[in-house]
Amino acid sequence: MKTALISVSNKDGLEELIPILEKYDFRVISSGGTARKIRSLGYDVTEVSDYTGYPESPDGLVKTLQPKIHGGILLNPDNPTHNKYMKQQGIKPIDLVVVNLYPFEKVIQEDRVDFYKVVNNIDIGGSAMIRAAVKGALLKGSPVVVTDPKQYKLVIDELEKNDGNILPVVVSYLAVEAIKRTQSYDSAIMNYMDRL
């Protein structure tokens, strides 16, 4: 069974993605709000806090910044040393990371911009997962990293065409798109702070 980690601010398109993941036997791990959305669609999901053994912190500040999450993204189960460590620590490989970031760019466009709200919309865990997933994808071909609901169709088509798998060229393409997304996000934060 493969594992998908889904933690999204924009929940559009999950109703199309989740049934395909279930069809191809992906176990889904998800953070609080996303988990509730997946359950509302009628699908099974494991909450991140149940998987890691650590409850989500107050205000959701710490959810996915956990060794079981980042180890599952970065470590290579085909490497004997990694595999041994993963077994010792109860870390399962994560094959698909679906993350879209807090809507920082949207928040700073509001008529009355509240600084506290702006800073709270600087995503930390999402950015860290994307970075880790990019590194894993480029080093070991996994996980697949998806950063925009517009990419769901590509992922769905790939899974359907390749019996639940995604070709390496598509994994690399999505990794590069993920780098562009984090660069764009960081630029928006930097530009806003510079203006202040």
> Which pLDDT tens digit goes with each residue over 96-147?
999 999 999 999 988 888 899 999 999 999 999 999 999 999 999 999 999 9
Count of domains observed in the chain: 1
- For 146, which DSSP code? E
Residue 87 has pLDDT above 90, yes or no: yes
Domain boundaries, position 151: 2-195
Q: What is the pTM (predicted TM-score) of this model?
A: 0.93
d(CA 164, CA 19): 12
The per-residue pLDDT for 196 is 84
3-state DSSP of 60-117 = HCCCCCCHHHHHHHHCCCCCHHHHHHHHHHCCCCCCEEEEECCCHHHHCCCCCCCHHH
CATH number for the domain including 53? 3.40.50.1380
